């Protein structure tokens, strides 16, 4: 039996995932978590075989959370389930230590296949993402945003998607001042002068989620 922990801040999403898993006979939901710190706490007390992780929850960021979990539980399979299908986002998650990546618009069969493969010790990337990852990996010189921290990268994405400083601060349970600092640093690192340049940069590099 495969025991999994579902980590997603949306109750409706967790409910849908539990319905999908209920169609199987060898996967059970051992627990749920709605923010980063809760994921860490649940993993310390529950015996799970796999973590099903959303990338954008309040508190600890997806990438930061993956690295934290890798420190405490190096062998735990981590399957990312995210709305983000950009090659840069997927690559960062895999480099941080995720062992699988599936997008939220995938068929349930893809998700179940990924869970089974990771639980058996393998890796899995959503078939729709494979080409993007391969071509991004062999694209030559790394783009400027590779120098950004994980939080700065997330702030860049959210600003480009039209989120305000306050919206982003609320999403990450941080102060608006902290998010403003991240914005200032990423603008400096990318040599961007204003929001219009930031949006153009994000579009050019495929960093804006549909």
Residue 160 falls within a domain, yes or no? yes
| Statement to judge: residues 63 and 165 lie in one domain | no
Determine the pLDDT at residue 129.
Answer: 83
* pLDDT band at residue 32 using 50, 70 and 90 as cut-offs: very high
- Is residue 154 located within the same domain as residue 61? no
Q: Give the per-residue pLDDT at 84.
A: 79
Report the number of distinct structural domains present in the chain: 2
Last residue of a domain, one of 137, 154, 188: 137
> Dihedral of the CA atoms 100, 144, 186, 105 (nearest 10)?
-30
Look at the pTM and tell me if it is higher than 0.75: no
Structural domain contains residue 179: yes
The predicted pLDDT at position 209 comes to 54
- Note whether 158 and 121 are same-domain residues: no
Are 75 and 124 part of one and the same domain? yes
Residue 116 belongs to domain spanning: 2-137
Q: Are residues 148 and 185 in the same domain?
A: yes
Is a pLDDT exceeding 90 seen at residue 1? yes
Same-domain pairing of 94 and 185 = no
Are 120 and 173 contained in the same domain? Answer: no
Note whether residue 43 is domain-resident: yes
Say yes or no: 65 and 133 in one domain: yes
Condensed to tens digits (0 to 9), the pLDDT of residues 131-182 reads: 766 665 544 556 778 778 888 888 998 898 888 999 989 888 889 999 999 9
Stretch 24-34: mean pLDDT: 95
3-state secondary structure the chain: CEEEEEECCCHHHHHHHHHHHCCCCCEEEEEEECCHHHHHHHHHHCCCCEEEECCCCCCCCHHHHHHHHHHHCCCCCEEEEECCCCHHHHHHHHHHCCCEEEECCCCHHHHHHHHHHHHCCCCEECHHHHHHHHHHHCCCCCCHHHHCCHHHHHHHHHHHCCCCHHHHHHHHCCCHHHHHHHHHHHHHHCCCCCHHHHHHHHHHCCCCCC
Are both 55 and 103 inside the same structural domain?
Answer: yes
Residue pLDDT, tens place only, 67-94: 899 999 999 999 999 887 777 788 888 8
Whether residue 160 sits in one domain with residue 67: no
Say what the pLDDT of residue 210 is.
45
Do 43 and 112 fall within a single domain?
yes
CB 48 within 8 A of CB 3: yes
Do 111 and 151 fall into the same domain? Answer: no
**Structural domain includes residue 209:** no
pLDDT at 141: 57
């Amino acid at each position: 039996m495969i025991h999994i922990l579902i980590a997603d801040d949306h109750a409706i999403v967790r409910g849908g995932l539990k319905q999908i898993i209920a169609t199987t006979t060898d996967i059970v939901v051992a627990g749920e978590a709605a923010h980063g710190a809760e994921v860490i706490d649940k993993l310390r007390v529950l015996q799970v075989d796999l973590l099903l992780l959303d990338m954008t929850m309040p508190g600890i960021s997806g990438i930061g959370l993956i690295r934290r979990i890798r420190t405490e539980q190096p062998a735990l399979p981590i399957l990312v389930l995210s709305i983000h299908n950009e090659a840069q986002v997927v690559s960062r998650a895999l480099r941080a230590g995720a062992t699988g990546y599936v997008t939220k618009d995938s068929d349930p069969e893809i998700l179940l296949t990924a869970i089974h493969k990771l639980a058996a010790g393998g890796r899995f990337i959503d078939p729709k993402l494979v080409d993007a990852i391969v071509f991004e990996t062999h694209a030559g010189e790394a783009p400027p945003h590779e120098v950004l921290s994980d939080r700065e990268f997330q702030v860049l994405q959210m600003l480009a998607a039209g989120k305000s400083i306050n919206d982003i601060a609320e999403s990450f349970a941080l102060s608006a001042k902290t998010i403003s600092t991240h914005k200032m640093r990423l603008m400096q690192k990318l040599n961007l002068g204003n929001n219009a340049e930031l949006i153009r940069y994000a579009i050019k590099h495929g960093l804006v989620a549909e």
